[in-house]
Amino acid sequence: MAADDRRRPHAAANLEGLISRRGLTGRIETTGAVSASLLATLFSKADLFVLASRFEGYGMAYAEALSFGLPVIGTTAGAIPDTVPNGAGLLVPPDDPAALAAALRSVIVDADRRRLLSEAALVAAHTLPTWQQSAAIFAATLDRLA
């Protein structure tokens, strides 16, 4: 499948080209947009969640990954450290590929570390608000501003 090109066609084309030029077409699959049920299936089959964001206002994708017990590798940008607590993942500075590679390497090669991070991810997931709770908090905030 192809990268999701509905929002940023140029970025999707660049990604596909980079994957091809680096000879990674057999190792990386871009799926485009996926349904909620397929996303749940993909999360349940994963060993690790990696998202090297430059900014996150909350980090819902990280929260979803934690709910599946996935160890997280991300960045310290925005609200990510508030969403991914210590022990549930490894956070590196944004735009630091060497730190990202080191974090990936450390989790990929160490099954015990992955297991501990996974256990902490599940614990952390239970402390995060649900979609319904988040919506209620947001609505209450809007009511106070009105």
Q: Is the same domain home to 89 and 129?
A: yes
Q: Is the same domain home to 4 and 69?
A: no
pLDDT tens-digit series, residues 68-98: 999 999 999 999 999 999 999 999 999 999 9
Confidence tier at 54 by pLDDT (50, 70, 90): very high
Report whether 107 contacts 48 (CB < 8 A).
yes
Is residue 93, in this structure, part of any structural domain at all?
yes
Report whether 80 contacts 91 (CB < 8 A).
yes
pLDDT tens-digit series, residues 111-135: 999 999 999 999 999 998 877 888 8
- Alpha-carbon dihedral sign for residues 125, 127, 128, 131: positive
pTM: 0.81
Is residue 65, in this structure, part of any structural domain at all?
yes
